Structure 1
Amino acid sequence: MRLENLFRRALLLAALSTAFVGAHADTLDNIRAAKKIRVSVDLAVPPSGMTDANMKPTGSDYDVAVLLAKDLGVALEVVPTVGATRIPNLQTGKADIIISTLAWTPERAKVIDYSVPYAPQISLVGGVKGINVKSMADLAGKSVAVNRSTTQDTDLTQNAKGATVVRYDDDAGVITAVVTGQADLVGTSNALFQTMVQKAPQRQLEQKFVLRVNDLGIGVRKDDPRLLAWINDWVKANHANGKLNEIFKKYHGAEIPKDVVEKWVK
């Protein structure tokens, strides 16, 4: 009788395991069945993600998530995140996808899949006008503030020899450090740097040099081919109809260059 019970338990565990694998492998069906998509969005990275005066989410990444959910025919659930928790939220099943200034990197591409890029992001080093910095080499002996686990963190850690990289847990912390004078140099996105310039005109902040121009993609779990294919088709269609460009222009004050879009969707 004991052996029979053990056999039944083994069969049950096998069935549960198979069900879990099937659920993971078919996230698109799960989303449609739940009539809801959970999207990881950082709401402290203006103008890509932020909250308005009524503490409601807004920003270009949020609007992209709203449009995607609408076209998929499901409700949107925002899973708030910071830079360091975007991918863990996806891997642990807390979120279905990531739309959160997620730049493509070889390291990230090993653990998640990326969609066709939906927007560009200029990554730069900026700081107080009086500091003479024009390249990575000029950062030796200086401190640079970054958001932890971002591409700016990676680029500066690997290439700014002799610099001290000061890491904050989110972009709100980086903004506060720069605006209040705790940090005189920062590695961040162009959009976020413009927010700092506007918040602290007395600091006379200026761009020092460009780190890279990133392609921002929608993050999807590995081995989710149907969901990734649907998102890729959706991104291409909304580049073609101009809706992604409209969102980008609304929040970033410029259009996505046509040659960049052509490179992405060819």
Structure 2
Amino acid sequence: MRKLFAGLAAMAIAAFGAVEAKADKLQDILSKGVVRIGVPLDAPPFGSQDANRKAVGFDIELAEMVAKGLGVKLEMQQITGANRIPFLLTDKVDIVISVMGLSPERARQIMFTAPYANTFLAVYGAKSAAVSSPETLGSARIAAAKGTTQELAITEAAPKANVMRTEDDATAAAAYITGQADLLATNSIVAQALAKQNPNKEFERKFVIRRSPAHMGVQMDQHNLVRWLDSFIFYASMNGELDRLHKKYLDMPMDPLPTL
């Protein structure tokens, strides 16, 4: 009998642990009064630091709007393209807002919201670079932050490409700007910002990898949180706030975005 009760107790504890592991993240955020959001500081205009080392950018302001909408305090954590998903999987953040593109592989690990910004991925270089497609890359060195959508996409499109995989987007951009790399694979809006900041460096678009709208990400099975964020994105689209962010940071109005 003791063994039976011990076995039942162990099963109950395991079941309770499973329930706890799938706790409602939205309710947890509301109860604690704090939301932890991972944001980039290496991908202007979505996220960077100003002269006073204050975080600024599209994703920074969007994170502030999310926290305000939830009615909780914002705890921002700096993330990179490589650790965005690991930070969610290890529960270091509740939400990732980091110009993140959706792919079927990523969707096996985390859940994505509806898109909030319309961008595409492309390869950029000097006008003299004779590159117009993945097939014409040859031995040219392409800088790309590891773990990002562009790094994964260019690797898939050109498995033999000479990709210089860096720790983050800022290092990839620096590698191209300083001549360590011949080309740069990045987000179209990031390339636009880099061109403005570096007028003596050419950022000609050599070819488009693919369209890649930006999505927020949360842990798998957090349906309530995803639903709330989708509602937030819809509301921010209807009241003009997302359009305001597009004009402020991306120098363009918000175009209609695809839905999931």
The residue number in structure 2 matching 1:147 is: 145
Contact 1:179 1:196 in 2 (8 A): no
The residue number in structure 2 matching 1:210 is: 208
Return the alpha-carbon distance in structure 1 between the equivalents of residues 10 and 242 of structure 2.
46
Return the alpha-carbon distance in structure 2 between the equivalents of residues 13 and 38 of structure 1.
32
* Superposed displacement of residue 60, structure 1: 0.2
* Superposed displacement of residue 119, structure 1: 1.0
Contact 2:143 2:173 in 1 (8 A): no
DSSP 3-state at the match of 1:231? helix
The residue number in structure 1 matching 2:55 is: 57
Return the alpha-carbon distance in structure 2 between the equivalents of residues 120 and 226 of structure 1.
24
* Superposed displacement of residue 21, structure 1: 3.0
1:84 aligned onto 2:82: yes
* Superposed displacement of residue 15, structure 1: 4.2
The residue number in structure 2 matching 1:73 is: 71
Deviates more, 1:188-197 or 1:113-122: 188-197
Deviation per CA, 1:211-244: give whole Å up to 9, x if none: 1111211101111111111111111111111111
* Superposed displacement of residue 13, structure 1: 9.0
* Superposed displacement of residue 86, structure 1: 0.4
Return the alpha-carbon distance in structure 2 between the equivalents of residues 72 and 7 of structure 1.
43
1:44 aligned onto 2:39: no
For structure 2, list consecutive stretches of 5 or more residues without a partner in the other structure: none
Return the alpha-carbon distance in structure 2 between the equivalents of residues 11 and 250 of structure 1.
58
* Superposed displacement of residue 161, structure 1: 4.7
Residue type at the aligned position of 1:194: Q
Contact 2:49 2:56 in 1 (8 A): yes
Alignment of 1:244-263 (within 5 A): 244-257=242-255, 260-261=256-257, 263=258
Residue type at the aligned position of 2:20: G
Contact 1:140 1:161 in 2 (8 A): no
Contact 1:25 1:223 in 2 (8 A): no
Return the alpha-carbon distance in structure 2 between the equivalents of residues 12 and 175 of structure 1.
53
For structure 1, list consecutive stretches of 5 or more residues without a partner in the other structure: none
The residue number in structure 1 matching 2:120 is: 122
Alignment of 1:1-266 (within 5 A): 7=6, 11=9, 14-15=12-13, 18=16, 21-22=19-20, 24-257=22-255, 260-261=256-257, 263-264=258-259
DSSP 3-state at the match of 2:253? coil
Return the alpha-carbon distance in structure 2 between the equivalents of residues 229 and 28 of structure 1.
10
Return the alpha-carbon distance in structure 2 between the equivalents of residues 52 and 160 of structure 1.
36
Contact 1:249 1:256 in 2 (8 A): yes
Contact 2:122 2:205 in 1 (8 A): yes
Deviating runs (4+, > 6 A) in structure 1?
none
Contact 2:144 2:172 in 1 (8 A): yes
Q: Percent identity?
A: 35
* Superposed displacement of residue 153, structure 1: 0.8
Return the alpha-carbon distance in structure 2 between the equivalents of residues 251 and 93 of structure 1.
30
Residue type at the aligned position of 2:71: G
Residue type at the aligned position of 1:29: Q
DSSP 3-state at the match of 1:202? coil
Residue type at the aligned position of 2:239: N
Return the alpha-carbon distance in structure 1 between the equivalents of residues 39 and 19 of structure 2.
26
Give the structure-1-normalised TM-score. 0.90
Residue type at the aligned position of 1:215: P
Give the structure-2-normalised TM-score. 0.92
